[in-house]
Amino acid sequence: MTSPERSPDAFPRGFASDNFAGVHPKVMERIQAVNHGHAMAYGDDAATARARAAFNDLFGRQVATHFVFNGTGANVTALMAFARTYGAVLCSDVAHLCNDESTAPERFLGMRLIPLRSVDGKIDPEALKEVLGRGHGVHGALPVALTLTQPTEVGTVYTLEELKILTSLARSHGLGVHVDGARLGCAVASLGVPAREMLADVDALSFGGTKQGMLGGEAVIFLTPGLGQEYPYNQKHAMQLASKMRFTAAQFEALLEDGLWIENGRLANAAARELERAVQDIPFIQRAFPVEANAVFARIPVELLEPLQQETFFWPWDERAGLVRWMCAFDTRTEDIQAFVSAIRRLGVTLGL
């Protein structure tokens, strides 16, 4: 049998995105395990019940867990719990929510997004204070929720103290707190603390699946009792209710079993640190942000961008400034890193860098 690595349909391995990675074998096995017979639709099945119970175990208490198709759907529908027609959601100026989810937040939430100044991807508490202290009254959008990305969009990780400062500010002004945890396993692995401790002051969570080793699917979890009681209606309204829910839920069951999601995060983080070390002595490569999760952001000569992309595809973060993002996944290998760095060195010589 031809392996996926040699299939003509396979995209070359690289550092474009952890979305490019395949499905973890244990997740694929669990999908196959529930692919027999018939089961109740729309989440009234045994696999979904088990996955929800697994999230209860993860947080050490009863939480409300719902499964959706994608990250945009998870973030938007989770924030619907705080939606007010006159409201605003506060987020980082580099947040996925306001930069990479098109107009879905505005359309489905009917609220304004207010980006806040960030430092290394983390919201500056002073910027949050400034917005919360504005005195426009009814003439301005009223902040009703704060959303934090953990890890951040540039691969840094909020410490527990940093989270506490921001969530306390939000609480003192009556805001709800949401966390976009598309790569939450990387943050947990980086800090070495349980998810329940990291998210102790959080109301709603988007728990990533796709970037953490699943075929597809995300979870919306309400950690504050009673919050999100109308969520099933919002989920259906936003076209995020799967009929064959068991195939999404089974993947989460596999991901949570024996902490696979954290182990996948640890592997991705370790690969990013290995890549960082491998390029640190190349004089024309400059690290842009601290490497605390599974992303390496670097500044490279603009003339290197296109030829290097032709060797191994990746996304430029700011093409004009030569700022690039190199993402690692749970299946990133040492040989992938070595081949990529060798290409950088070779092209550097060719371009006279």
Tens digit of each residue's pLDDT (9 = 90 or more) over 156-177: 999 999 999 999 999 999 999 9
| Residue 8's pLDDT band (cuts 50, 70, 90) | low
Local confidence band at 12 (pLDDT 50, 70, 90 cut-offs):
confident
What was the pLDDT predicted at 2? 37
Which of 2-6, 110-114, 195-199, 251-255 shows the lowest per-residue confidence on average (mean pLDDT)?
Answer: 2-6
The pLDDT confidence band at residue 219, using thresholds 50, 70 and 90, is: very high
pLDDT at 1 (0 to 100): 32
Report how far residue 169's alpha carbon sits from residue 8's, in angstroms, rounded to the nearest whole number.
53
pLDDT bucket at 99, cuts 50 / 70 / 90: very high
Q: Which DSSP category does 60 fall into?
A: T
Can you give the pLDDT at residue 11? 73
Q: How confident is the model at residue 4 (pLDDT cuts 50, 70, 90)?
A: very low
What is the pLDDT, as a whole number, of residue 9?
65
Domain 261-351 has CATH 3.40.50.2300: no
Phi, psi of 91 (to 5 degrees): -150, 170
Model pTM?
0.95
Distance CA 307, CA 298 (A): 16
Whole-number Å distance between alpha carbons of 18 and 327: 6
Instruction: Summarize pLDDT for 316-339 with one digit per residue, the tens.
Output: 999 999 999 999 999 999 999 999
Q: What is the pLDDT of residues 238-269, one digit of tens each?
A: 999 999 999 999 999 999 999 999 999 999 99
Could you read off the pLDDT of 279-303 as tens digits, one per residue? Answer: 999 999 999 999 999 999 999 999 9
**Domains 25-260 and 261-351 are alike in CATH topology:** no
Annotated domain spans of the chain: 25-260, 261-351
Instruction: Indicate the pLDDT class of residue 5, thresholds 50, 70 and 90.
Output: low
Give 25-260's CATH code, choosing from 3.40.50.1100, 3.40.50.12780, 3.30.160.40, 3.40.640.10: 3.40.640.10
Q: What is the overall mean pLDDT for the chain?
A: 96
Per the structure block, which two tokens stand in for 333?
């290998």
| 299 touches 326 (CB < 8 A) | no
Q: How many CB atoms lie within 10 A of CB 15?
A: 25
Predicted pLDDT of residue 3: 42
Query: What one-character DSSP code corresponds to residue 182?
Result: T
- Residue 293 pLDDT: 98
Where are the alpha helices (H) located in the chain, listed in sequence order?
25-33, 46-59, 71-79, 96-99, 104-109, 125-132, 160-172, 184-191, 195-198, 231-237, 246-256, 260-279, 302-311, 334-351
